[in-house]
Amino acid sequence: MEEEMRLDKNVFLMGEEVAQYNGAYKVSQGMLDEFGPKRVIDTPISELGFAAIGVGAAMNNTRPVVEFMTWNFAELAIDQIVNHAAKIRSMSGGQFSCPIVFRGPNGSAGQLAAQHSQAFENWFANVPGLKVISTIDPYDSKGLLKSAIRDADPVIFMESETSYGDMGEVPEEEYLIPIGKAAVKREGSDVTIVSYNKMMKVAMAAAEELAKENISAEVIDLRTIRPLDWETIVESVRKTNRLVIVEEQWPFGSVSSEITYRVQKEAFDYLDAPIRRITSADTNMHYAPNLVAAHIPDAARTVAIVKEVLYIQQ
């Protein structure tokens, strides 16, 4: 965000606690000192209100980055995101654009119970006019956020509050990662595992465990949910002949549902086993630690499902 704000005076950040408090998760630490209160703006706890201000500002030749303290609160702003930001280019016949980024943490973060543990990628990916990014890798996050800020249309950028402390190599020189391109994070030949956001940690951990038993898993990080990189997924399935999808969504109408449909449509003859999905439980999140653990996909479940699609006796 700092790099883009230095390059373009029309980029500004607004949201809950982004200025004086340096961000609820310290994402905006030091930005108020550098850019001042007109470009790093604290808002009231009124998601619908400041999302609307951001949409109006974006329609008037600025590039707002709107931070929600959590996407669980951003449900209040869905009217502005879905009915205004996503539709204004189409409804105005191209006379208006809305170059805005809505970003913040998404999904569960431990013992935060039902109202603070929801993943919404599939909700926003269902809306024409929105781009949806969901990533936690430091390198990918920077390159994709820069691309999102420069995009001419609204972008939903979903992070994870449990991953803000993650470390990774990030080049000093400027780079961009194109929106809509998945990344093969681990090459393999026996099964394809597709995931995104913090469930990538589950997928990678499962691949490590499978490797100990000479099972070669190819792991794909979607990074972008809409537009989705079908080519990379289908190409991998044609190589491995098996697909397991790991995500934090509820199972009904999820991102994995759409992937399953598309793969069986375009690569059915290559499949040697049914596509399997590993999702969060089809229930609200509870507070008890054992129920939290049972709710969210983990590496052990993923390993077990991979062995099932490989028809390995357990």
**Which amino acid is located at 26 in the chain?**
K
Catalytic residue selected from 16, 47, 218, 248: 47
User: Which residue among 4, 67, 84, 116 is the active-site one?
Assistant: 116
Helix axes 199-211, 299-309, angle to 10 degrees: 60
Distance of alpha carbon 33 from the chain centroid: 29
Judge whether 248 counts as a catalytic residue. Answer: no
Residues taking part in catalysis: 47, 116
